[in-house]
Amino acid sequence: MATKERVRVQVKKVAGHINDYLVNDLSFVVLLLVLLFIVFILPILIEYGHLDMFIVNLVFIFLFFTGIWSCNNRSLVVVTASLFLAQVTLKFLRIGEIQQDIYLLERIAGILNMGVFIFLNVRLLFRNQEVNLYRVIGAINVYLLVAITGAFGFEIIHLTIGSSIENLNQTLTSKAITGVEEDFAGHLYFSLVSLTTVGFGDYTPVNMLSKMLAVFLSTIGILYPAVVIARLVGAGPRN
């Protein structure tokens, strides 16, 4: 009986190891692929009208679902699953038209989701002293998640006070920001420009809330790489 108990304990430990270091880590790889698509490909497809908004919403639903898979804590699973259901419910409530009050609630739920994802990836980055591919993936995920969170923030500002950023060089191919779902590409672009501290000058914040959010993103863009590099270097092998 003692031998069987030891075997059972060993099997449980192996299963726990697989869950912590294989299933969860692979979910961060999937999350990275989805984030790369949303940040670098989705805005192009939206801007040139090659993607229906229904498909865009499906992409975000898949993103939020990936977060549930990334959790290895029951409380976090409950939180991410609840936020996922809230996202799906709100999206179904506004099928066929943009209802700004529901859209605002949806973006608030989206920011909460992004906050949980950022926490999960930061925890992955600081989980142990081991430096490997998954730690680097976690660091990249956080950066891209902050960019999407910033875009949601600019959208929320626009929906609540009527403006957030404006395009200073409006042409036939660069539309004005109107606060609807199709503007996500412009908001994400400005969020990335602020985060990377590039500042091309084609878009600019038009009120104090947007200006402070842009400054906040720029501050993160400067400090975050330094913190990550210090973490990865500090976690490396020591002589």
Per residue in 156-213, pLDDT tens?
999 999 889 988 776 534 556 665 677 899 999 999 999 999 888 889 999 999 999 9
pLDDT at 3 over 70: no
Question: Is 239 within the bounds of a domain?
Answer: no
Question: Is 97 within the bounds of a domain?
Answer: yes
Domain that holds residue 199: 2-234
Helix or strand holding residue 148 (H, E): helix 133-161
Whether the Cβ atoms of residue 192 and residue 39 lie closer than 8 Å to each other: yes
Integer Cα distance of 50 and 78 in angstroms:
35
Domain of 165, CATH number, reads 1.10.287.70
The label of the residue with tokens 């994400």 reads 188
Question: Is 214 within the bounds of a domain?
Answer: yes
Question: Percent of the chain at pLDDT above 70?
Answer: 78
Question: Is 103 within the bounds of a domain?
Answer: yes
Mean pLDDT of 79-97: 85
Instruction: Report helix angle 208-234 to 184-195, nearest 10.
Output: 50
**Candidate from 18-22, 29-33, 79-83 with smallest mean pLDDT:** 18-22
Instruction: Report helix angle 133-161 to 24-36, nearest 10.
Output: 50
Mean pLDDT of 103-132: 83
- Name beta bridge partners: 33: none
Integer Cα distance of 116 and 77 in angstroms:
10
pLDDT at 230 over 60: yes
Question: Is 101 within the bounds of a domain?
Answer: yes
Domains of the chain: total: 1
Q: Render pLDDT for 48-66 as a digit per residue (tens, 0 to 9).
A: 877 778 888 889 999 988 8
What confidence score (pLDDT) does residue 173 get? Answer: 45
**Candidate from 79-83, 116-120, 129-133 with smallest mean pLDDT:** 129-133
* The token pair that represents 28 in the structure block: 């961060």
What confidence score (pLDDT) does residue 14 get? Answer: 46
pLDDT at 124 over 90: no
Of residues 10, 9, 25, 17, the one with CA closest to residue 69: 25
The residue length of the chain stands at: 239
Class of residue 121 by CB neighbours under 10 A (exposed 0-12, middle 13-18, buried 19+):
buried
What is the reported pTM? 0.84
